[in-house]
Chain A
Amino acid sequence: MSRRRISLRQELPLLVWLVIVWGALWQDFSPGNLLFGALLSVAVARLFYLPPVELSGRFNILHAIPFALMFLAKVVMASMQLLFLAVWRGPRVKNAVVAVTLRSHQDLLVTATGHVISLIPGSLVVEVDRSTSTLYLHALNISSPQEVENLKNEVLSIEAGLIRIMGTRDELEILRTEAAA
């Protein structure tokens, strides 16, 4: 196992997250406790070495806030739809397994897209093909090819939103050329 040194800048999000978790666990955000948490998180990150997550190095907060709000609204909608289906449709519900090929080949972006679409109305990731970055979704309440198309378009638009937040410049270029076409 080669221990490639990773720069502090790449590791920083992980360390910040660990410090926040430490503070939350003690329910104490005083500077002394946070400093001790920072020391501990550096030690943990050095001792329990994991392959670094490839970050693209950009994060657009202006796109992130509307996306988070939209995500929250979709989570609410998902639960309401599920409640409705469970009570009124029950055993007669129709499903489909849909393949969606994503634009991005970054592990982080594919994972984030998978997480988001697992939580929006009526879809769940069943299988991931990492080499072609294809997600296979199980979709609830799909009865026509038209609805399959709608679902695919929705997944791709969610991926576009995530690319705008934290994708690389190349992926942004792909988005631009798609929008122009």
Chain B
Amino acid sequence: MSPDSTGLDAWVDVLSAVFMIVGATMSLGAAIGLLRFPDLLSRMHAATKPQVLGLFLLLASIGLQMRTLWVWPVLLVAWIFQLLTVPVSAHMVGRAGYRTKHLHRELLTSDELEAVVQKAAAKAAREDGSGDG
């Protein structure tokens, strides 16, 4: 790109190009997962994990392309924001999905939460009944 393109410079360019393409492929992977997985909870895996790696690779390629050191803390803060927010939103969506029965039981090989949820629901129903009557 730049006229004084030394060997190292070219390698950094190649590395950041690879990062960009792999990072974009991660988004594509997320979309494929969204389309192909059978139920909400497995789609959620597809929506969260590639996002984090994809943004990491893209931010790293920005850092490599800018060729200055002071952008790295800024990029790190942006990535940490992503790291903190993605699991929380995935957990909230997953919890709502589990409670509203958006999952296919036949796809689960074991479910250790079901008994707990049913017990809690039975208890809540008892309390409701005693509260009304």
Direct contact of A and B (CB under 8 A): yes
Task: Mark each residue of chain B from 74 to 105: 1 if its CB lies under 8 Å from any CB of chain A, else 0.
Answer: 10011000011011101100110010000000
Any B CB within 8 A of the CB of A136:
yes
Residues in A with CB closer than 8 Å to B56 are: 75
Contact (Cβ within 8 A) A143 B109: yes
Shortest distance between the CB of A107 and any CB in chain B (Å): 14
Secondary structure class of chain B's binding surface, majority of residues: helix
Number of residues from A at the complex interface, CB < 8 A: 43
Contact (Cβ within 8 A) B73 A24: yes
Q: Which residues of B contact A (CB under 8 A)?
A: 25-26, 29, 32-33, 36-39, 41-42, 44-46, 48-50, 52-54, 56, 70-71, 73-74, 77-78, 83-84, 86-88, 90-91, 94-95, 98, 107-114, 116-117
Q: Which residues of A contact B (CB under 8 A)?
A: 20-21, 23-24, 27, 29, 75-76, 78-79, 82-83, 85-87, 90-91, 93-99, 114-115, 118-119, 122, 124-129, 136, 138, 140, 142-145, 148
Closest 5 A-B residue pairs measured CB to CB? A118-B87, A90-B36, A86-B33, A99-B112, A83-B29
